[in-house]
Amino acid sequence: MGLFSKKKKDTMTLSQLREYDKKAISYVVRRENGGETILGRKGAISVKDDEIVIVCNGSQALRVNTDGAVMATLMSGNGVDIKGTDADGRPVHAIAYYSNLRQ
């Protein structure tokens, strides 16, 4: 058994996802086909029992199912990478950048 032989988990538990609940974000982008689209600015991440919702300026910017979702802090520590599926079963890849406010 080698040093790097341990397989990484493809999903996270709900309690692991809730570590990102109520984090303030400055903006969120969706990554598709090698490009990024800004979905919203000034908002927060909300992790519920069945979905991850990002609300920006009082409206929903992104909604991802918690079943099979993965959230990982960026190496810089200034945001979170979100991968999962939407309500229609399409893959979603987004990055939410934290606001400069202390959390």
Q: How many domains does the chain have?
A: 1
Q: How confident is the model at residue 14 (pLDDT cuts 50, 70, 90)?
A: confident
Q: What is the CATH number of the domain that holds 83?
A: 2.30.29.30
Within a domain: residue 53?
Answer: yes
Contact 42, 57 (CB under 8 A): yes
Output 4-12 pairs: Cβ under 8 A, ≥24 positions apart: 10/68, 10/70, 11/67, 11/68, 11/69, 11/70, 12/69, 12/70, 12/71
Q: What's the predicted TM-score (pTM) here?
A: 0.83
Contact 95, 29 (CB under 8 A): yes
Q: Which residue has the tokens 């079963």?
A: 89
Within a domain: residue 5?
Answer: no
Q: How confident is the model at residue 102 (pLDDT cuts 50, 70, 90)?
A: low
DSSP 70: E
Residue 10 pLDDT > 80: no
Q: Give per-residue pLDDT as tens, 35-86.
A: 999 999 999 999 998 999 999 999 999 999 999 999 999 999 999 999 999 9
Residue 103 pLDDT > 50: no
For residue 35, the tally of other CB atoms under 10 A from its CB is 8
Average pLDDT over residues 26-33: 94
Residue 32 pLDDT > 60: yes
Within a domain: residue 4?
Answer: no
Within a domain: residue 30?
Answer: yes
18 closest CA partner among 95, 61, 80, 60? 80
Within a domain: residue 31?
Answer: yes
Could you tell me the residue range of the domain that residue 70 belongs to?
Answer: 14-98
